[in-house]
Structure 1
Amino acid sequence: MKIIHFSVSLLTATVFISAPISAEPAAQDAICASQVLAPALFRPSTEAVTVYESSTRYSTTPVQMGYGERKVKIADAYVEYDIIPAKFGEVTETVEVERERIELETLPATYRTDTKRIKVKAATQRWNPNCPAILTADNNSAENCLLTVPAEYTTVTREVIDSPARTVKRVIPARTETITRKVLLEPAKAVRREIPAVYTSVKLAKVEQPAKVVTTQQLAKTQAIPVEQTVRSELVIAMPALCEASVSPATIEQLQQRLQQQGYYQGTPDGILGPKTRTALTQYQEAHSLASGAITLETLRKLQLQ
């Protein structure tokens, strides 16, 4: 905590109280240099918080198949004879009608909800309204009259990646057909007669264009959170104020009436500088960013009492 000291001379003023509220303190009200708490200064700002992380998306173009035909010989040509016919046997053969291929499958990214606390205002200190005014000479008593105001936080909910997008390969096996054909075991004898070969058409499937994976980048999303940046921390300084030991009840009553008009003092003005008056004075000073802890001339000017 930084304490700034400066010296002031004692001032006296002569006034004539002709109404319940006068323009300045009574003549017997002396001026003292009292230690007060100058409030911290803040300025509004914003902070960008990521609520949706960037991710990669995948999309696939399916494989394009082409179909055609293939002639397969199922019986060889042979020669027959009228006397001794030819002898044949059967052969079983496996023919590939669809080739093996690879298909790609994309699985999208999954997200989970995450909660993050953001500090929007730093912790500060305020003057305890129950403490009396402290003279400049008593430096150590000022710290006992400071109350800690905790920092302020806000909660931001964001979506973060739980598992990234990925691509899964799937192998499609080849497809085959079993064909039985005749083969010549023993040719015919005697009268020769040629028997031509026999063919059949088999449909074939082939990959004309393989599957493709297209990658796109999903940009991150941010949210602007209003925060208050500390320009200057609170300071304990010495300022001119009314000496509470000799302040007149008339001046206190004027102060109570002004605070009552502003909505801070509750009750009937009695000219007594008690806890209720100190609390109302401190609330007014904090609401108008004035130094708190004493009846400062700065506060009196703000209340149009000087």
Structure 2
Amino acid sequence: MTRPPSATRAICAMALLGLTACAGSYATDVPDDTLPVPDFASAQIDPPPGVRPDGCWVRDVAPAELETVTRQIEVAPAQFDEAGRQISPARFRTETAQVILRERQELIFETPCPDALTPDLISTLQRALEARGLYRGQITGQMDVPTRLAVRRYQNARGLPSGLLSIQSARALGLLTTPRDQL
């Protein structure tokens, strides 16, 4: 067996290096990265009845969370002779089913108003999420897809599976003050 010429090896190494450099940094840590993340403008709604009319509200949909479960079910037990030697092995069939872990949810929640979402506030949000290991992008001050995915990671761990920043999350991250009457 002959080795490829060194020039071919060098080209292969450069190609491999290029492919690994292009790999995304989010592909393996959170499976919900492939879910669509709505933008704020398309999710905005009028305040629901019974809430502060001066707040900003959004509607988002959290898709159902499914899990595929595979089981082996014994169809026929193993057969043994009088001496205890196995004559035929047990036979099994594979059964696969999907189980709903979380139903699809329509979420309606209060969010910081668009005039509050300044580049400075979004930069602070990105740094707060970066400090928690949820955001690894550039600090841009833009509510871009990587930022919304990091917001989703943060909020999903707190029971709100949305990439739109809630006012509760903004307050918990120290981005907004909590009014005295809500303390």
Could you tell me the TM-score, scaled by structure 1's length?
A: 0.31
Higher helix share: 2
Bigger Rg, which one: 1
Could you tell me the TM-score, scaled by structure 2's length?
A: 0.48
Higher strand share: 1
